[in-house]
Amino acid sequence: MYEDSFRYEKMEQRSIHRDHGDLHFFSNEESSSSNIPSNVYEYFQLVEDGKFPFFNNTQVHVSAMKNSAGETLLNAAARLGHHEIVERLVGDIDVEETDYDGWTALLNASHHGFADIVRTLLNAGASIENPDLMGWTSLMWACYKNRPEVVDVLIEFKAHVNIVGEEDGLTPLIIASGRGFVELVPKLLEAGAQVNTSDKFGSTALIWAARKGHLQIVQYLLNSGAELDAVGMQASSALMLATRGNYIPVVEALLAREPNVNIVDYNGLSALGIAAREGYTEIAASLLQSGAFVNTVDRFGNSILANAVRSGNINLVRMLLERHADVNAKDSEGRTPLHLAIDKNYSDIVLALLEKKPNLELKNRDGDTALLRAIKNRDVQVSQLLVSMGAKLSTTDNAGDNALHLALRARSRRLTQILLVNPQIQNCFIDLIN
């Protein structure tokens, strides 16, 4: 649904690729190929088993040995967490050698959380900033996989904490914040991570944390100077995304800093508009208390009250009406909140709207008044209520049908009786006779 979800899915696929069998060694068929020495497979098998291979009779130099994924023995040992083997191989194999995905031994060790191997490789001269083919460094992968001990070592060796992913614009802080890794965020901030850096879609660490409902991280970021009103994915602010997720504690933490509660996203929805659409009464109350405008409309012409009506939440509708929400506001199809409530068969909301004395003669784009909609829906109770409140019976829709025409066509005796006993109908007959 969101750009960030797609990016995280891609990162997770890459991570799973490192975790599972895609990087295993030569198959028996490969090991018997004429251009591959027969003993190379055995060397990788020994490393996989955590045993150091001796190279007395090998036909290939240890640095030239690679498996089907392009890994050296050092890369494989680092990925598998065999520290002693790594220590014995660092002098014989280039620590910067990569597999076919651009992964070095350091990237592998960082990804899998082997802090001791990370330290050994760095002491052996491994480049701390060498990225994989997608532009992610060891620190970025350590943050993605929540490896606090590895992060400590990388920061100790002066890893660039503000490195930006080439493809997605993500930083270590954004990654850790979005994934809810509470232990990592203060480490990165203390190491100088810039709190307001944004990814390629403009989303900051605060926006990521708020969208996921990570309260403690939101508080860390706010205390470190995070910009409250920054907008990112879909032109949404942290407040709007926390509202969408119904993360009440996060919303309260953000409101305590007095953000602009009336920012709108690319659909024209404010935080209150989102809360109304989703039926979140508690958040809506907090937003109203903080000065949210009650009569804004989105780019589709939907008012906040209309969104609340659609949610079916009577308490929210009453709250907005008490704040003077426009009961006659029309959407892009000419429907008022009353039209919507009738179509949804929300009788309690219909009653609440009628208490505010709306204009009963407003028509939607089909020419329907509230009464005509009620009759078309065969809603006897609401039709009777509207008639008793003075809804005009002579009004016609775009097809030229009035209330009585529709009731007769619906073959509804009760609706027809309600209309026939009404003085308006009787007066119509008198006018025809005269």
- What is the tens place of the pLDDT at every residue in 274-330? 999 999 999 999 999 999 999 999 999 999 999 999 999 999 999 999 999 999 999
- Provide the token pair at 123: 């002491």
Q: Where are the chain's structural domains?
A: 1-160
- What is the tens place of the pLDDT at every residue in 225-281? 999 999 998 899 999 999 999 999 999 999 999 999 999 999 999 999 999 999 999
Q: What is the CB neighbour count within 10 angstroms for residue 313?
A: 21
Please tell me the predicted confidence (pLDDT) of residue 184: 98
Please tell me the predicted confidence (pLDDT) of residue 194: 98
Q: Say which CATH superfamily domain 1-160 falls into.
A: Ankyrin repeat-containing domain (1.25.40.20)
pLDDT along the chain (434 residues), means of 10: 49 62 42 47 79 61 84 94 94 93 96 98 97 94 98 98 93 98 98 97 97 98 98 95 98 98 96 98 98 96 97 98 97 96 97 98 97 95 94 94 90 87 57 40
Q: Phi and psi of 354, rounded to 5°?
A: -65, -25
Euclidean distance between CA atoms 162 and 331, whole angstroms:
46
